[in-house]
Amino acid sequence: MTFTNKAFTWIELLVVLVIIGVLVLLLLPVVETARPASQCMQCANNLKQLGLAMHNYHDEYGCLPPAYVADENGKPMHSWRTLLLPYMEQKALYDQYNFDEPWDSPANQVVVGSVIDCLRCPSAKSNLASGQPLPENRTCYVMITGPGMFSEGENCVTTKDIADGTSNTIMIVEIRNSDIAWAEPRDLRADELWGINNESDERPSTLGSEHHGGMNVLICDGSVRFMPATITPERLRALLTIAGGEKAEDF
């Protein structure tokens, strides 16, 4: 009798385990579907933090940060991302950073190697074609620089300089396969744009994202919008200029 009861208990346990296994299998697709959406939302939140930091910088200095700060010879030394550290709850890192030395000098290596979550999209998977994990100090967010763009390099613009209106101009975009450290004074030049590629382009720092169907962009008014990958290069370039008469709501 005792043996029979034990056998019955083991059968019940096996049935429960089978049911649990089936439920897990049924829930896996739901989890896999929810994860990309959550990552896209977190990415948008990262960009909102950057937008708030940009405007707080503007409030203090009367202009938005330049793409980079250069030395006396015009060589880029420090990135706009470094300038924003105090406005991203990273004042301690900012105080450790040596602005008298280039970003990649030995004096700045500890700071440069630090991980700043809001400068990295959570969906970023790999670096270049190697398939290796993206180094944690790489950034997924850049300005587009060049004549007529949000920044031409060293120059600063005010919100009044954005003739198209702050709600109609793109400030920061996402890139894939990033080989740019967050402190590196390097972004994406307008002449490097070929439209958005979320699939097969393995060039370093390609405009695009791991999000399905497009990428997040930060607008100059601090809002974040999802730009479809189907946008034409011509339309994209138009939305990146600060005085071309285009409207961002047309994406």
Q: How far apart (Å, rounded) are the C-alpha atoms in residues 112 and 121? A: 18
CA distance 222 to 58: 12
**Would you say the pTM of this structure is higher than 0.85?**
no
Is the separation of the CB atoms in 182 and 133 below 8 Å?
A: no
pLDDT of 233 reads 79
What is the model's pLDDT at position 128?
A: 44
Helices (H), the chain: 2-61, 80-83, 91-96, 109-112, 233-240
Q: Cα-atom radius of gyration of the chain, to the nearest Å?
A: 23
pLDDT at 133: 63
pLDDT of residue 161: 92
Joined together, the tokens standing for residue 7 give: 């056998």
Distance separating alpha carbons of residues 154 and 138, to the nearest angstrom: 22
Q: What is the pLDDT along the chain (251 residues), one digit of tens a residue?
A: 444 454 556 676 676 676 676 665 665 554 444 566 888 999 999 999 999 999 999 999 999 999 999 999 999 999 999 999 999 999 999 999 999 999 999 999 999 999 999 999 988 764 444 456 667 889 999 999 988 898 888 888 999 999 988 888 999 999 988 889 999 999 998 887 766 766 666 677 788 888 988 999 999 999 999 999 888 877 888 888 888 776 665 66
Q: Which tokens belong to 63?
A: 């202009």
* Residues 218-235 as b or e (16 or more Cβ within 10 Å = b): bbbbbbbbebebebeeee
pLDDT at 127: 45
